[in-house]
Copies of this chain bind each other. A is one copy, B any other.
Amino acid sequence: MPDPENESLFEAPPMAEQERMVEAILFATAEPVTLAELGSRMPMGSDPAEALALLRKRYAGRGVNVVKVGEAWAVRTAPDLGFLMRHEVVETRKLSRAAIETLAIVAYHQPVTRAEIEEIRGVSVSRGTIDLLIEMDWIRLGRRKMTPGRPVTFVVTQAFLDHFGLESARDLPGLKELRAAGLLDNRPPPGADLPDPDAEDDGDQTDMFEE
């Protein structure tokens, strides 16, 4: 219970308001919060213990609960709903330079054949790179090209557009616009004079003829 003397000195907020405060603090704080911390952050004269007890009761049986972690308190998903959280954490990795360049060429030139990608990149494209992009559902096979050999082409997918927040691949800015926006340095890219960082891809150049 609040100290009656304090109550007269400091007008503590109504208990419903104190409960709101505890709720917001527990939600937003990255670590579980002790009663002492709650008290130090709430207005003078507040009673965090009582507010917390009310909040705890309010969340009983809900989708998230107020739980005790050591000496501190936190909001956690109800244990029976853990199955909903399975997709929560995915480990993300940066795409390799070869992959992002290949992806960019497909996006800008689609439909584009593998030979055309190699022509633009200036090095051969390893099969793993294309496979990875297809597996990620960012590129897919398009129509065969109406040129000799009828090579398959690659186009970007709806998932690609969704991921990059594009309405269509045609909305990508052109080279001129990239330069104007300062995305295109007129400096040589780092390592341009060094051994080609794409050398890893250069090894099995001939493998495409062994299919």
**Size category, A interface:** 35 or more
Q: How far is it, in angstroms, between the C-alpha of A77 and the C-alpha of B170 when the chains are bound? A: 34
Q: How far is it, in angstroms, between the C-alpha of A174 and the C-alpha of B206 when the chains are bound? A: 7
Q: Which of A17-25, A92-100, A191-199 is near enough to bind chain B?
A: A17-25
CB-defined contacts of A67 to chain B, threshold 8 Å: none
CB-defined contacts of A200 to chain B, threshold 8 Å: 180
Q: Give residues of chain A (133-176) contacting chain B, Cβ–Cβ below 8 Å.
A: 140-144, 151-153, 157, 165-168, 170-176
Q: How far is it, in angstroms, between the C-alpha of A182 and the C-alpha of B131 when the chains are bound? A: 7
Given A81-B20, A131-B182, A181-B130, answer yes or no on A171-B144 (Cβ-Cβ < 8 Å).
yes
Is A122 in contact with chain B by the CB < 8 A criterion? no
Residues of A within 8 A of B (CB): 19-25, 27-30, 41-42, 62-64, 75, 77-78, 81, 84-85, 87-88, 108-109, 114, 125, 127-128, 130-131, 140-144, 151-153, 157, 165-168, 170-177, 180-183, 200-201, 203-209
- Name the CB-closest residue of B to A40: B87
26 contacts between A and B (CB under 8 A): A19-B63, A20-B62, A20-B63, A21-B63, A22-B63, A23-B62, A23-B64, A24-B78, A27-B63, A27-B77, A29-B88, A41-B84, A42-B84, A127-B181, A131-B182, A141-B171, A141-B173, A143-B168, A144-B170, A153-B171, A157-B165, A173-B205, A174-B206, A175-B205, A176-B203, A180-B200
